[in-house]
Structures are given as C-alpha cells and as structure tokens.
Amino acid sequence: MSRKEFLRFAEAEIRTLASLYSGVGRNVDALILYFGEDPSRCPFEQVISTLHNFVKMFSKAHQENCKQHELEMKKLAAESPKSKMNVAHKESERMLHTPT
C-alpha cells in the first residue's frame, strides 16, 4: 500500500470516526437534557461516571434482592414440613379428644 492510498483510507476513517463522535456527543447532550441537567455544565465524563455507578448499584441491589428471596424461599420450605406436622398433630389431638 502506498502512502497516498494509506492517506486516503486514513482520512476516510477519520471522517467516519469524527461523525460517530459527533453523534455520540448529540446523544449524550440529549441524555443530559433527559435527566434535567444543562449540557454546557455537565461534562461527558460525569454522565458516564454517573450511569456506570447507577448500573453497579442497581446490579448489587438486584443480587441482594435475589439472595434475600432465595433465603425466604428456603425458610418457607423448611417451615413447610413443620407446619404440616403441626397441623397433623393438632388434627390427631382433636380426633383423640372428640367424643365418639
């Protein structure tokens, strides 16, 4: 590949990247506006950092909720046989004390 061919290819790639970067900037500004902030006062890095922290905290909360749900289900499963035994025991006591 000659230097001229490389330059043509590289310039085309640079134009494509500049266009994509510009589109990302517009999307970030729209996102900032969506959250009620001023795009001129809220830098791109802050938006990304805030979104990243939100996703991490959301994932952590989701994992904790799943663990809590699993513990509750295990507790219910463990109590279930006990409950059945208590009901059966009470029923048998009732039958023993019921006059025939």
| Mean pLDDT, each 10-residue run in order, the chain (100 residues) | 92 97 93 90 88 96 96 88 61 57
**C-alpha to C-alpha distances, 77 to 57, 73, 74, 81, nearest whole angstrom:** 30, 6, 5, 7
What's the pLDDT at 77? 86
The Cα–Cα gap between 93 and 58 comes to 51
What's 39's DSSP letter? T
What's the pLDDT at 35? 85
What's 98's DSSP letter? S
Listed by start position, the domains of the chain span 1-42, 53-100
SS3 99: coil
What's the pLDDT at 100? 47
The Cα–Cα gap between 43 and 15 comes to 24
Q: Which residue has the tokens 């029923």?
A: 91
What's the pLDDT at 22? 95
What's the pLDDT at 15? 97
